[in-house]
Amino acid sequence: MREYMSQQERRELWHERIATFYDSGLSAVRLCTKHGLKPHQLWYWARRFRDEASHGVIPTFVSVVTEDAQTTTAPITLRVGKIEIDVRPGYDSRVLAELVHILVTRPC
């Protein structure tokens, strides 16, 4: 048998070895001991084939259809401790944030 293998021959050989490993149910160490292989080589080729397979997936954008937001004039009730605040559309968010901060940090 010749010592040199082409890159394609080496890939095919390792592809067969990886398939044998997955089909065997053996641990990597046991399979490698049985076949005179090194576990790090087995994991290298398994990872290489897995990475190559995952790179075959081409990311694409998908269309997202959203429904129009329903506008409502109903207030949202915010409760801070025993205090309830009705927040209506068009409120000033800075004023609300300041009010909530005061209510949360004030001593009881």
pLDDT digits (tens, 9 = 90+) for 51-73: 888 776 666 788 888 877 777 77
Domain boundaries, the chain: 7-55, 76-105
pLDDT digits (tens, 9 = 90+) for 73-103: 788 888 877 888 888 888 888 988 888 888 8
d(CA 64, CA 81): 40
pLDDT digits (tens, 9 = 90+) for 9-62: 999 999 999 999 999 999 999 999 999 999 999 999 999 988 888 776 666 788
Residue 49 CA: distances (Å) to CA of 66, 68, 89: 39, 46, 56
| Res 59: pLDDT | 65
